[in-house]
Amino acid sequence: MEWMLVVGTTGNSTTMRMNRATIGLTVGFFVCAAATAMAQATSGARIFRGSVGGSNFQMRLNTQGTNVSGTYSYDTVGEEIKLTGQLDAQGKLDLAEFDAKGKQTGKFACKQFYAVEPDCMWSRPDGTREAYATITEQHIGFANGLQIVPKTIANRRSGVKVSYPQLAAAGGALSAGAISFNRRVLALTQKAIKDFVPGSEAGKNALERNYNVLIANDDLISVEMTEYQYSGGAHPNDDFDSLTYDLSANKELGLDDLFKPGSDYKTAIAKYVVADIEKRAVAMEESDAKSEGRKPVKREDPIVTEDQLSEISSWGLTPKGLVVYFDFAHAIAVFDRTVIPYNVVSEYLKPNSPATRIYKH
């Protein structure tokens, strides 16, 4: 079971743009399962990455019936913070956090936890200092002692706050593939920092990067680095880098490594992307109309056609499908990212490609 929490308040070396306020919709492949399924989940820990007010953290949660417990720690601090809470049958999740002395220091609250865009927030115990946050499940399945640890780079003057993933071996040496993956991730991170040009107004700039492990096992790792950037102007940008690496073959994978030579997989992807964007756009309009007390407005033209799609800018692998990115204009950048179920492209996949192995697992 996969689940994602977006907490908010009212108040590829290739980059993608994405509206932070709509992040819950655009990462549809992390959409929460129904609350009743969560309530019936067996005990077991799940790992999450997230951010509160630009501070990145890693979280581990256990569920036993409706009880939820665990810990989380901020990347720049490392101290474990205890979590306990409840998830009820209506999808309401409440988590309280406690410091080492047992004093409550904050709380997470979420209504309709299983919804596409949960109504959630983090705050102090008394409800003050509400802040946006995200919590996204990490799909990690190492059996050989590998671990993924967060590393950080920060520069308060320029507004840089970056977390990036590095592989570590529990009590042993890293393989050549793991070492190469670490170097490549670091290079992508350093390039993003180098390319960031702060604006002239001091204290108004931000480059915040975090990461999500889309899938990781002994042979393969696919990660996504998320980026929030602001250096003046009308609006900030939310961007992505992605990296998929064959650890056993010590090779960074390209999209063509997944598909049969000469196959028309791009057409299959394009058809699905266009239809999925239209479906999501209709759902967004219906939701907005309902909240605003009006009738939905029907568009005469689609958001985008197959002919208007640019080349795929980047991609990743998840347990459920292939993630593809397009570099749309800012007005429709919420649709930059789409997950293609493996069965949509299965006939085009190479018999023993990483995507095929995930699909048939």
Categorize the per-residue pLDDT at 89 as very low, low, confident or very high, splitting at 50, 70 and 90: confident
92 and 115 both lie in a single domain? yes
For residue range 319-359, list pLDDT tens digits in order: 999 999 888 888 888 898 899 999 999 999 999 999 999 99
Q: Which residue spans within 205-307 are E strands per DSSP?
A: 206-216, 220-230, 237-246, 251-252
For residue range 17-45, list pLDDT tens digits in order: 444 434 333 333 333 343 333 433 334 58
Residue 78 backbone class (left: φ over 0; alpha: ψ -120 to 50; beta: rest): left
17 and 129 both lie in a single domain? yes
129 and 208 both lie in a single domain? no
**Can you name the residues that pair with 341 across neighbouring β-strands?**
321
Identify the weakest region by mean pLDDT among 66-75, 106-115, 245-254.
106-115
Per the structure, how many domains does the chain have?
Answer: 3
Q: Output the six-digit token pair for 165.
A: 């993933």
Does residue 260 fall inside a structural domain?
Answer: no
- The domain boundary residue, chosen from 78, 113, 137: 137
231 and 324 both lie in a single domain? no
Which comes out higher in pLDDT, residue 267 or 136? 267
12 and 122 both lie in a single domain? yes
125 and 245 both lie in a single domain? no
pLDDT at 87: 87
Categorize the per-residue pLDDT at 310 as very low, low, confident or very high, splitting at 50, 70 and 90: confident
13 and 126 both lie in a single domain? yes
Q: What is the pTM of this model?
A: 0.84
Does residue 118 fall inside a structural domain?
Answer: yes
Distance CA 350, CA 353 (A): 5
Instruction: Count Cβ atoms below 10 Å from residue 294 Cβ, excluding itself.
Output: 9
226 and 299 both lie in a single domain? no
- The domain boundary residue, chosen from 102, 137, 172: 137
298 and 207 both lie in a single domain? no
Domain that holds residue 162: 146-253
Average pLDDT over residues 244-248: 97
pLDDT at 117: 52
Does residue 259 fall inside a structural domain?
Answer: no
CATH of the domain at 21: 2.40.160
CATH of the domain at 179: 3.30.565.40
73 and 150 both lie in a single domain? no
24 and 118 both lie in a single domain? yes
9 and 114 both lie in a single domain? yes
Candidates 99, 50, 49, 55; CA nearest to 76 is: 55
Sequence-distant (6+) residues with CB within 8 A of 113 are 3, 5, 32, 35, 38, 87, 91, 92, 93, 120
Backbone angles phi, psi at 21, to 5 degrees: -65, -20
- The domain boundary residue, chosen from 228, 253, 278: 253
